[in-house]
Structure 1
Amino acid sequence: MPLLIVALGVLVLIILIMGLKLNTFVSLIIVSFGVALALGIPLVDVVKSIESGLGGTLGHIALIFGMGAMLGRLIADAGGANRIAVTLIDKFGERRIQYAVLAASFICGIALFLEVTIVLLIPIIFSIAKELKVSIVHLGLPMVAAALSTHAFLPPHPGPTAVAAEYGANIGLVLVYGIIVAIPTVLIAGILYPKLAKKIVPTAWTREGSESFGIQKTFKEEEMPGFGISVFTALFPVILMSIGAVVDILQASMGFEDNSMVQVIRFIGNSSTAMVLSLLLAIYTMGISRKVPMKELMNTCGSAINALGMLLLIIGGGGALKQVLIDGGVGDYVAQLFEGSNMSPVLFAWTVAAILRVCLGSGTVATLTAAGLVIPVLGTIPGVNLELVALATGAGSAIASHVNDAGFWMVKESLGLTLKEAFGTYTVLSTIVGVSGLICTLLLDIVL
């Protein structure tokens, strides 16, 4: 019965969002109330459960998410993203142009959200495709493969950050393991699959892309910051969190005790501290050192936060539904079903997230909703690697992007694809990202 209620709740959510075109956040809250009542949560506790889920989810990630948005916007508006892309493309050369686009998208994608990465890089690869007389799809698929992988696996992106917090996983370790998983995934999805896709949907390689996406802010050579400082600024939070994660790994394996130095490193490597320090660095490297007025820098930060408001509410709405599922006993019911099963918790988390992703469209919502079903299962199994379960959930949330996903339409329109071609390229590519991510995570689970 609890699973039937969840299925009906997901169905209602799909109808509200896709059929009635209701706002995603509003839909999530309505469904949360309905599911709470159907699961028999006492009336006096329904609102408390929803508020607890919404506040608990946003409480930990709002700082990381907000700082990450401002960091990415500062780098983009200063021309740092353009500098990274143009330099890598110039260094790799025409023959290895796909690898250059892949690397540029991966580096930019760590600091920028999926949609922002696409919007920023499309004009650049649009120009390169024309100059080299190649299809924009030839360069576009590596770009979206890297952007989607960073979005699914790497903090400070909303999905992996939020689910790591929900599971109680170490965000620094999620980042380190996420990079290990993401690298082979982007090579398979962004380099190998396009060669096959060219044979499956050859007409896609005749497209020239949408001219409207080519009209973006352009930068003169002297207006852009240097390549080294642009990459360093974009990767600075990764560097800090990775140092913290390495210390945790070494301490677990070598058994040395905490001292002042370890505590300082762990403090600096904490995801929240790392994002604050990275934002301060970006304000200097992308602004003050280039004589950009502080008022202009703060306007840039403000615009990044303004664009973030609804997305934060949607994430909170996903957390509310997650909490309702837990408080309503759905998670415990699933845990009982899972009890005695040999199914890996990594595979279980991926399966739940993948099903929700296909149904709901939003990877972030699917990730958070899956957490409500997975968390009780984790309590029944000793020695579970929470970081890998978080990565598996992210991998599941990337699978099978289709018509209910905003990213699907952005890729389709920016590359000028027909619906059939978009299914044959991006939908399959996103599925490869999800499956490859799962396989790499399972291999890591064996090694670790």
Structure 2
Amino acid sequence: MRYGPAILVGRLTRFAARLRKPGGGSAVPGLIVNKIAPGYLKRTLSGFPQGLVVVSGSSGKSTTTKMLVAILRAHGVEVFTNPSTANISQGLTSALLERADWRGHVPGDMAVLEMDEGHGARVMEGVDARVVTLMNVMVDQIDRFHDSEMVAGMLARIAGRAHEAVVVNADDAHLVRLAADVRSDVAVRRFGVSQAVLDSSPRGLGYTETAADRLQPGEGVLVEGVDGRTALINDGRSFITTSLPARGAHYAVDAAAAYATAKTVLGERFSVQTANQALGAIPAVFGRGERTTVRGQQVEFVLIQNPASYQLNVDSIEPGTSDILFAIGSDVRDPSYFWPTDASSLGHVAIVTGSKAHEAALMLAYDGVEIDRVEPDLGRALDDFLAAPAPANGVKTIVFSADAMRRTRAHLGLTGAE
């Protein structure tokens, strides 16, 4: 009963928000509940019988969380999780409201939550996690995170709430140093890539500082090979060849992180075969290399969020792809943020669009990319792009920033949960 009135107000707010904007307003109910019942989020996160698992870092959180949830559910664990767009405090509360009964209780054996680095550090104050998984530290959102040391400090605060284990990327130097300071009663588990995989990524994997040494077989979950959408993973006892939801070594790293975390959480219940089947069956998270059919056209969506993800994801687009729409929205306050990257591999872009279309077109032009048209109106650009004939090579590909992704989703009617 303690949170009954707050739950009622939150649900009424959610109903009103969805009447006003179908598929939108997801964070508003959580914002209101957090105001009138500030203890609800922390109390609920602490109430799952098999505990809380948190995934955080600069990049890869959404895909890793989805992979981890799939593995755990395949092992029979009832998991509560949050959509990838609900990784800050009000979004987390809104996600809980979706499942809560009138008393505020959320069913599930375990919660597995993706958390934004900054908000997660605040949310986790006073909340214990069984396991915390940390993906990486990248140059990201410089208007929020002024330097990489700041991000590493936030992740250290999240890791400090783990009481069973911390799972870290052994190729990220910031996280290697963080792991060395974990309390002695908390286990440290690792994942990473082999030297051969790193060497096959000439631009690296985007970390602010890559560790000098590679993880060796038997020291953790190791990605030994990547070929397109297939990865070879060695957990020290078994080798698996698993399918990835999208191309690129960074998706193989996400798979290794999910595998290592599931193995840590499940202990003796963990099945290599079950984990591999679950990994190979999941689709891409929306925008992260996902392919779907829209208006009769097959389309691939590629999300770029920071210079590292920009570079990794642009490089992963199939060579020779002829029809590309490039959209930069208002979330990129200063497009010079992306100038250190190199998009020359694109070769040709059909339309550059979004609120920062002209700045983006200039950046692409300096990379030697041919551009057919600059159209600031995103809706018009999407309509024209999808109405054009099927491409000569590859599939139609839409590259977008987070704001442009949300607007694209809404314009195309893709309003279901991610």
What TM-score do you get using the length of structure 2 for normalisation? 0.28
What TM-score do you get using the length of structure 1 for normalisation? 0.27
